[in-house]
Structure formats: C-alpha cells, structure tokens
C-alpha cells in the first residue's frame, strides 16, 4: 500500500489544481480581469446610446447631415479598424500587468517502459504528478518599464482612434456637402441650358424673319452646345460625389442615397478669432498630437526597459510532485527556493538594444515636434480658408443678384429688338458663372467651418446643428469616446 501525500504536498497540489481549473474559467467568464478592455468604449456614432452604441440606419430615407455622419462613424471600415487597434493595445496592456502575478503550472505524465537490464524485459508503468510556481520578486524595473510602455502605447492607440473618428467625421461632412453642391450645380446647369435654348430659339425666330444674322444664330447655337456640355459634366460630378459619399458611409457606390434639403450657408457676421489662441487650444485637443506624445513616452519607457534588462533578477520558485513506478513505492518531492539571475556577458547585445531604443525615442521626439508644427499649420490654413469663405458667401450672393438682373435686362432688350445676341449670351454666361460661384462659396463655407473644427480637434455633434440646424436632430452623445 502506497503512503499518502504529506499534508503540505496535498495542500500545494490542491491549490495548483484549483488554480488551473478555476482561474481560466473565471478569466474566460470575465474576459477582462484587469479591466483594460473595458477602458475602450464601444464603436459609436453621434446618436449613440448606452444600450445601442451603433443603431441600424435606414439608407432608404433622405439622410440629414447628422444621419450621414452617424452612418459613417458606425459603418466605415477605418473606424472599426481604429477601434480594433485600440482593443488590441488594451489587451497588450493587460499582458504587461500579468507580469506582476505568479505563474502556476501543473504536469501529469504516464508512460509504459521496458528495461532489459533491471527488470528482465518485463514492461512496467510510470506515473507522475507535479505542480510548479514561479514568481519574479525583483527585476530592477524591467516589468515597470514594460508596463509603462504598454500603458503609453494604449494611450497612443486610443488617441489614434479619436483622430480616426475626427477624420471620418470630416470626410462624411465633406462628402455630404459635396453631394449637395454637385446636385445644386446640376440644377444650375439645367437652368443655364434652358436659358441657352430659349436664346437659340429666339435667334432662330429672328433669323427666319430677317432680323438677325447667321452669325447671331451660330453664336446662340454654340452657347447652347456649351450649356449642354456643362450639364453633362455636372451630371458626371453628381455621380462622382454619390460614389464618394457612399464610400465615406461604408456602403457600395451603386447604392442610391437621398439627402435631406439643406439651408443656405449663413455665416455669422463679424467672424474673427485670435489665431495664436486657436493654435494653442488645438495643441491641447488634437488627438494625433496626443498620440505622438504618448508614443514618445512609450519609447522612453522602452529605453528604461532595455537599460534594466542587463541587471539581476530575483525570483521565487516552488514545486511539489509525486511519482510512482509499478511495483514500487511512490515517492513525493517538493521544493521551494530563491533564484538570483545575474547576466554577465551577452555579446554586447544589451548595449545595442539600448542604443536602438534611444534612437527610436529620438525618432518619436522628432515626430511629435512634426505633428506639433503641423497642428499650427492646419489651424492657420483652416482659419484663413474659413475667413475667405465667409467673405465670399456674401460677395457671391451679391454677384448672383447682379447677374440675374443683368440677364433679365439683356433678354428683354434682345426680345424687343434693341439688344444684340452677343450681349444676351454674355449676360447668360455671367449668370451661369455666378450661380456656380454662389454654390461653390456655400460649399466652401460649410466645409471650411468643419475643417477648422477638425484642425482644432473639436468635431462633435454640436457642429452638426450649427451647420445644418434644420436637418440635424439633437444628439445624445459626443462623437468622440
């Protein structure tokens, strides 16, 4: 009869077995023992709620600006990629925290052996059961540096996710207004084509009664052909804008998308701001600059880890086991002890690892400075463009009103027989150009305002209401997590 395990061995084996059986199941049930994944909010749009971060969108109804942005943030593959990247880095942060916990392992073996010398060739069985525990007590900062590196990379991934959200937000706004502008441009080209056809018919009528020359009719025909060509070009631009919007929304370009009507651009009077203050504010809010700063801190932590890798490590180890050969008495074993590992020489690999880590930190420092300067340039350009667009909207409106009156006068004079066809065609060309400039000015103002908000790192649901108060419904959550 084989002797029983000693009490200490039984307790150790029971602990190891319970740890191996319960901890994986418990961790699997929680899925996030350290809570790192919970720090990454779910994929969400501007109308997200706590119970339904991304809600299905009805693309069959006319989309408002808020609808378009919401669909883009929820459906665009780039946002899903950014969210997945943040979750992956959150998991790596959990891996770094796990290094502070002990590791427990168990082993079970059973074998059938034959030994000609000691047992006369008779087969016999051998069984063993063991459990081992290892725990790093002190490592001169290797784990803490690794944890800091993982923490900063997680922060960089979260900031990169926010930057991606801002970029997709702006792309959806641009695509939405580009589709609106191209549709308005098509409508304007149809009006110009209709006016050119009326002029051609009038020139033909006057030519038949001898009141106009063949040159007048040719000029009118040329103007009509140009108007038709402009309309065809505008139709192509509408299709291109349709595909761009569909792509921004994460759907196929063949899918027809109807848009809700938009109010005209209405810039605030006296728009002005201190660009220096805008730049400083942007540098505190821009997620891409925050990501660059976090990546630099992660690189510095990696330098600390490389420098500590050649220092000693003190570990605690222990184990217990039981082994038995058939026909013999089973024997138990257990051990516990401290292990001090002292690296002496590694072929200068540590030296070069430190140098490589320091060089990488310099790279990240330069990249951070590059992004910092880019933020200033983005704000400067966006502010200049918005100022220009604000002034252009009013001027373009005045230009359109003047062109409309000029075309009416020229048309009336030509029908009365006191004006020339050249005057009429010139007025119609100026009117067509004024319509297009008014449309483009409105589009530029909408997009410039959104671009400045993106340059400031301040794209949110409030901007949608400011840009399209009639089309944007109240949002329940900011777009950025």
Q: What is the DSSP string of 307-340?
A: HHTTS-EEEEEEEEEEEEETTS--EEEEEEEEEE
For position 47, what pLDDT does the model report?
67
Q: Reduced to 3 states, what is the DSSP secondary structure of residue 352?
A: helix
Q: What is the mean pLDDT of residues 286-312?
A: 94
DSSP letter for each residue of 443-467: HHHHHHHHHHHHHHT---HHHHHHH
Contacts of 232 (CB under 8 A, 6+ apart): none
Q: What is the mean pLDDT of residues 271-275?
A: 74
DSSP letter for each residue of 105-127: EEEEEEEEEE-HHHHTT-EEEEE
CA dist 415 → 42, 192, 206, 418 (Å): 66, 18, 9, 8
- Give backbone dihedrals phi and psi of 101, rounded to 5 degrees, phi first: -100, 155
Written out in words, the top-level CATH class of the domain with range 32-98+141-310+350-467 is: mainly alpha
Confidence of residue 126 (pLDDT cuts 50, 70, 90): confident
Q: What is the mean pLDDT of the chain?
A: 85
Q: Which range has the worst mean pLDDT, 24-38, 76-90, 297-311, 349-363?
A: 24-38
Q: How far separated are the first and last CA of the chain, in Å rounded?
A: 66
For position 59, what pLDDT does the model report?
81
pLDDT digits (tens, 9 = 90+) for 369-389: 999 999 999 999 999 999 999
Per the listing, tokens 């009013």 go with 394
Nearest to 465 by CA among 79, 175, 64: 64
């Amino acid at each position: 009869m084989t002797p029983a395990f000693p009490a200490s061995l039984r307790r150790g084996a029971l602990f190891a077995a319970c740890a191996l059986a319960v901890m994986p199941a418990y961790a699997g049930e929680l899925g996030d023992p350290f809570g790192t994944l919970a720090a990454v909010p779910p994929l969400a749009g501007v109308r997200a709620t706590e119970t339904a971060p991304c809600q299905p969108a009805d693309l069959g109804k006319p989309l408002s600006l808020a609808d378009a942005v919401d669909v883009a943030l929820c459906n665009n593959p780039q946002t899903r990629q950014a969210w997945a990247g943040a979750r992956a880095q959150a998991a790596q942060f959990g891996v770094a925290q796990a290094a502070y916990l002990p590791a427990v392992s168990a082993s079970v073996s059973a074998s059938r052996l034959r030994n000609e010398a000691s047992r006369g060739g008779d087969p016999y069985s051998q069984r063993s059961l063991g459990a081992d525990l290892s725990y790093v007590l002190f490592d001169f900062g290797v784990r803490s540096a690794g944890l800091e590196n993982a923490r900063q990379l997680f922060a960089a991934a979260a900031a990169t996710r926010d930057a991606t959200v801002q970029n997709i937000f702006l792309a959806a706004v641009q695509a939405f207004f580009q589709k609106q502008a191209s549709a308005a441009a098509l409508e304007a080209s149809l009006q110009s084509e209709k006016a050119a056809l009326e002029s051609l018919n009038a020139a033909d009528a006057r030519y038949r009664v001898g009141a106009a020359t063949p040159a007048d009719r040719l000029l009118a025909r040329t103007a009509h052909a140009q108007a038709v060509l402009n309309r065809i070009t505008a139709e192509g631009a509408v299709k291109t804008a349709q595909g761009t919007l569909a792509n921004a929304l994460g759907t196929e370009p063949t899918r027809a998308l109807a848009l809700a009507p938009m109010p005209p651009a209405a810039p605030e009077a006296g728009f002005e701001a201190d660009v220096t203050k805008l730049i400083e504010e942007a540098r505190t809010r821009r997620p891409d600059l925050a990501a660059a700063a976090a990546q630099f801190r992660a690189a510095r932590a990696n330098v600390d880890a490389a420098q500590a890798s050649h220092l000693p490590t003190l570990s605690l180890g222990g184990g217990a086991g039981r082994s038995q050969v058939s026909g013999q008495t089973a024997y138990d074993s257990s051990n516990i002890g401290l292990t001090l590992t002292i690296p002496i020489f590694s072929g200068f690999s540590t030296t070069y690892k430190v140098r490589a880590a320091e060089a990488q930190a310099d790279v990240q420092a330069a990249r951070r400075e590059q992004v910092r300067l880019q933020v200033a340039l983005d704000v400067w350009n966006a502010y200049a463009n918005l100022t220009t667009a604000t002034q252009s909207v009013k001027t373009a409106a005045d230009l359109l009103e003047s062109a409309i009156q000029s075309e009416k006068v020229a048309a009336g004079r030509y029908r009365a027989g006191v004006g020339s066809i050249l005057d009429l065609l010139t007025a119609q060309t100026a009117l067509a150009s004024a319509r297009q400039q008014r449309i483009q000015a409105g589009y530029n103002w909408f997009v410039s305002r959104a671009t400045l908000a993106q340059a400031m790192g301040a794209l949110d649901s409030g901007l949608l209401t400011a840009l399209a108060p009639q089309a944007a419904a109240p949002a329940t959550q900011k777009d950025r997590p």
